[in-house]
Amino acid sequence: MKKLIFLFLYFPFTLFGQSYNFVQQTSGTATSIRGMSIVSDQVAWVSGSNGTVGKTMDGGLSWQWIKPVGYEKLDFRDIEAFDTNKAIIVNAGSPAYILLTNDGGRTWKQTYKNNDSAIFLDGMDFWDAKRGIIFGDPIKNRMQLLRTIDGGLSWQDISSKLKWNILTGEAGFAASGTTIRTMGNGKVWIVTGGAASNLYYSNNYGDKWGFYECPIIQGESSAGPFSIAFYNKKVGVVVGGNYLKDNDNSNNILLTNNSGKTWTKPLKPVDGYRSGVVYINDKTMIATGSSGTDVSTDAGLRWYNISKLNLNVIQKSKIGKLILVAGNKGQIYRLVNN
């Protein structure tokens, strides 16, 4: 476990009189950060390649870097944190593992393992402290779905509850762990891409499912939706693109006002491929990706680029105002709006 002290660097950008500052927290760590979970304005966890997990308990001023023993070669694409002590991580690829810590990362318990050569888990989200869900790429045309009702101590395979076969070449993207989103009262949305893009949804904790087509860019293995967010049960956004053409912004962001049943394009889209998107409030949204970061202040209708930094993931504190973004070389930035 290592501690890295805060790096005090600013990257200011101005939009309509508002100054957005990217305050660098870390850099140089040998991990590509994809997973992020911000518990409060003080506590946040991240996860990434080379078996690495990071944690701050002072709002990003300092970071502890952790490598769960025995899992140092894994790529932890998603993390769910509950406080300074408890977090759950999931890796991409085979074998698939889910690990749980209750002592701040000092020790980890393996709560799931799957040796199937086709297993690839894409993302995870929780409804509350006890109930959570993970999805993965299809095996024999069946989306992989895991659910916990005991805070991650055990996981039940509920793949059979989604009755539709996934098309050949249709899969999820694990670029930021945010192609799955949950909301209160059992709501969950999952988006897929590649050969075809669909939005799968449940209103009862994954017991029954429906789906809508998602008309975002698709048809190639590198194209589709890479992140979704919902402000409420009706209003949401999906972003993505083609990560091999990350400056292309052709049909890579859509908005919905009816839970994903239908989608509309914004008047001015984001500048390129985006792998993470969050709502700050009902009007302000931020999207980030390898070719930059964009902000909208009119509920997603118009987007304006504020940075060209190469980043993967963005999240906002569950109960506060802290916003963090992270990238491929251990970079973590705090996004400040002055």
What is the spatial order of strands in the sheet that 187-191 belongs to?
Answer: 180-183, 187-191, 198-202, 210-213
Distance between CA atoms of 272 and 312, rounded to whole angstroms? Answer: 13
Give the pTM. Answer: 0.94
Cα angle: 12, vertex 237, 97; to 5 degrees: 90
What pLDDT is stored for residue 8 in this prediction? 42
Backbone φ and ψ for 192, nearest 5 degrees, come out as -120, 165
With a CB cutoff of 8 Å and minimum separation 6, the contacts of 171 are 120, 122, 137, 138, 192, 193, 194
pLDDT tens-digit readout, 163-182: 999 999 999 999 999 999 99
When pLDDT is cut at 50, 70 and 90, the band that residue 161 belongs to is very high
Check residue 1 and give its pLDDT. 39
Q: What is the set of domains in the chain, with CATH numbers? A: 2-337 (2.130.10.10)
pLDDT tens track for 192-220:
999 999 999 999 999 999 999 999 999 99
